[in-house]
Amino acid sequence: MKKTSKESLHVSKLIGAWLRDYLPGQKNLRKDTIESYTYALSLLFHFLEIKNFLTFELLTFDAFSKDNIQEYLKWLRAERNCCPASCNIRLAAVRSFLHYAAEECLTMVQYYQSCSLIPRMKEESKPVPYLSKTAIQNLFAQPNQSTKIGRRDLSLMIMLYDSALRIDELLSLKIGDIRLDLDIVIMTIIGKGKKIRTVPLMNKTIVHITKYIHEFHGNNPNHQAYLFYSRNNGLMGKLSQDAVALRLKKYSSMAYLVCKENPSSVHCHQLRHSRATHLLQDGVPIASISRLLGHADLNTTMVYAIASIEMVTKALSSVEGVVLNRKPKKWKNSKTFAELCNLREIKR
């Protein structure tokens, strides 16, 4: 067995400190984000192992050379069929580690600087996938309200849509995070980067969620219990994203059979996209939508400002009406200067 080099141990210690201390501590990243970064580095080492026959004992700082990173990105595209967006996420993870490593070790500065010069892959600009208001109503009509699980699913979908929450934000919500005792009912949401924001609830949603809490949590609910909990793990175990995805897929398939305007498969984030798009169509300012969604940068919300077909049609129709109904200018039909000035014409 080959002896592990000091350089290999140094790199492994940097990776361990980055994942264990820096990302959750200083960067305050969520668990799922850290798992994504971990996976990106694991893929890099897997690539180096199969392409360069690199083992842990032979690991050096040169593993993070610009050439290796570029070849890694090409490998992701060619052999793992990763889209440009996924490749950019993997590149961002490697850069994050090298940025941390450069602060801790001067030897790593050159690798961080060279990696920073690698351009991101160009991503295709695609319209945000959303459901029409009719499709949303049709989707919400599918859960069987004569069953307890159907009533829970409808409450969950209404909350997800009305508040435009990310699925993890909703499933992490606890009873104590909802203030039903206030004049304006609000929820305290812990979003990306553990940033806290307050989100108001609409009256119809308040009615649904109040009935849901009474049925599923009783008259004296535990404020530390998850709003949507797992039947297997009890009140203190939150419902899994996979379970929600399966239920939503079931209802979207049912809705598709009723109305072809509904997509046959809907994912949770489409409800968030749909709510943001509908608010924009209803004339809500983009800044207010950005605050509701919890976006740190207004430019992130601007993706919803790409006009939908309905918005384009409405805009063109309004312009067409103005043009067609416009009265001809008086001077166009005037034959004399006197008529133009509303003066009596002198006969010759």
pLDDT of residue 8: 86
Distance CA 196, CA 278 (A): 24
Q: Is 260 one of the annotated active-site residues of the chain?
A: no
**15: closest CA among 70, 75, 59?**
59
pLDDT of residue 58: 74
pLDDT per residue, tens digit, the chain (348 aa), is: 455 678 888 988 999 999 999 999 888 888 888 999 999 999 999 999 888 777 777 788 888 999 999 999 999 999 999 999 999 999 999 999 999 999 999 999 999 999 999 999 988 777 778 899 999 999 999 999 999 999 999 999 999 999 999 999 999 999 999 998 888 899 999 888 778 899 999 998 999 999 999 999 998 999 999 999 998 888 888 899 999 999 999 999 999 999 888 999 999 999 999 999 999 888 888 889 888 888 888 877 887 776 555 666 666 666 655 555 565 555 555 555 556 555 665 665
**292: closest CA among 187, 175, 180?**
187
Q: Is 31 one of the annotated active-site residues of the chain?
A: no
- Token pair, residue 320, equals 């067409």
Q: Is 192 one of the annotated active-site residues of the chain?
A: yes
Instruction: For 133-305, give the CATH class.
Output: mainly alpha
**66-79 and 84-104 are packed helices; what angle lies between their axes, rounded to 10 degrees?**
160
Q: In terms of residues, how long is the chain? A: 348
Could you give the C-alpha distances from 183 to 179, 201, 245, in angstroms and in order? Answer: 9, 11, 33
CATH architecture, domain 6-116: Orthogonal Bundle (1.10)
pLDDT of residue 1: 45
Distance CA 195, CA 319 (A): 43
**18: closest CA among 93, 91, 92, 100?**
100
Catalytic residue among 27, 77, 267, 295: 295
Catalytic residue among 30, 197, 217, 269: 269
Write down the residue that tokens 């010759």 correspond to: 348
Which segments of 82-131 does DSSP mark as H helices, in order?
A: 84-104, 109-116
Which residues have C-beta within 8 Å of that of residue 115, sequence separation ≥ 6? Answer: 64, 66, 69, 94, 95, 98
**Domain map (residue ranges) of the chain:** 6-116, 133-305, 319-348
Distance CA 147, CA 135 (A): 23
Could you give the C-alpha distances from 49 to 54, 58, 63, 281, in angstroms and in order? Answer: 4, 10, 10, 51
Catalytic residue among 27, 30, 192, 291: 192
Q: Is 272 one of the annotated active-site residues of the chain?
A: yes
Q: Is 195 one of the annotated active-site residues of the chain?
A: no
Catalytic residue among 27, 166, 267, 291: 166
Burial class (CB in 10 A: 0-12, 13-18, 19+), 32: exposed
SS3 228: coil
Catalytic residue among 272, 273, 275, 278: 272
